[in-house]
Structure 1
Amino acid sequence: MTDITIYHNNRCSKSRATLALIEDKTEQLNIVNYLQTPPTLAELNHIITLLGFTSARQLMRTGEAVYKELQLKTEEDEAKLLQAMLDNPKLIERPIVLANGQARIGRPPESVLEII
């Protein structure tokens, strides 16, 4: 089995549920607490590509207060959207699971089972 990486936030119930599902399937698991260890720009771009997204905004938590504070709703510059996520990792949707050259967001948690 391939190594699996989860970008995890322990305060999120969906993230905890996704982690539990993965732990039932494998011991080869890399847990990244992305709020303390945010992904790099290259990693964010890679995740967006693996998810098949056409915009960084698709990976953003648009309901977060910082999203509104930074007035990102009208921002069209992809570099600025990415930088906002790098500067404010709580803007990154969670949990994200990478496995077997694919990625899924664990919403619902069971959606990650198709790639592990």
Structure 2
Amino acid sequence: MSDVTIYHNPNCGTSRTTLALLYANGIEPTVVEYLKAGWTRPQLEGLLKRLGRSAHEVLRVRGTQAHELGLTDPRASDAALIAAMILDPGLVERPIVVTPKGAALCRPADLVLTLI
């Protein structure tokens, strides 16, 4: 399966484990280091749609300024969260894996096995 993409943070243990599971299953994914590459609005909106999740559900709070920026407020709109995620890519939880079978936020890492 060569049409697999992982949105990866090499500093994250769960992300590294997920990538290792893909490799262990013979999959050579496209690895997108989103902290370097950044996000676009269409890209994030497309991922959220594929995931079937809201921006609130993929917001990374731990180790970010999400709370200080008011992004954890349930009244914060998805549009506001997406705008913040574009400015600070680290506000997106990781890793996200996309395959022909679907997409998932792979926390825990073994969730990736449902996509391959």
Q: Same fold (TM over 0.5)?
A: yes
Deviations 1:25-75, CA, capped at 9 Å, x for gaps: 23441000010002311111111111111x211110123331022111224
Q: CA RMSD in A?
A: 1.4
Q: Is this contact kept in 2: 1:85–1:92, CA < 8 A?
A: yes
Query: Under a length normalisation based on structure 2, what TM-score does the superposition of the two structures give?
Result: 0.90
The match for 1:61 is: 60
Q: Which consecutive unaligned segments of at least 5 residues does structure 1 have?
A: none
Q: Which AA in structure 1 matches 2:65?
A: V
Report the identity percentage: 38
Residues 18 and 81 of structure 1: is their aligned pair in 2 closer, same or farther, counting only changes over 3 Å? same
Q: Is this contact kept in 1: 2:2–2:29, CA < 8 A?
A: no
Which has the larger displacement, 85-94 or 62-71?
62-71
The match for 1:77 is: 77
The match for 1:8 is: 8
Q: Which consecutive unaligned segments of at least 5 residues does structure 2 have?
A: none
The match for 1:24 is: 24
State the SS of the aligned residue for 2:35. coil
How many correspondences in the alignment? Answer: 115
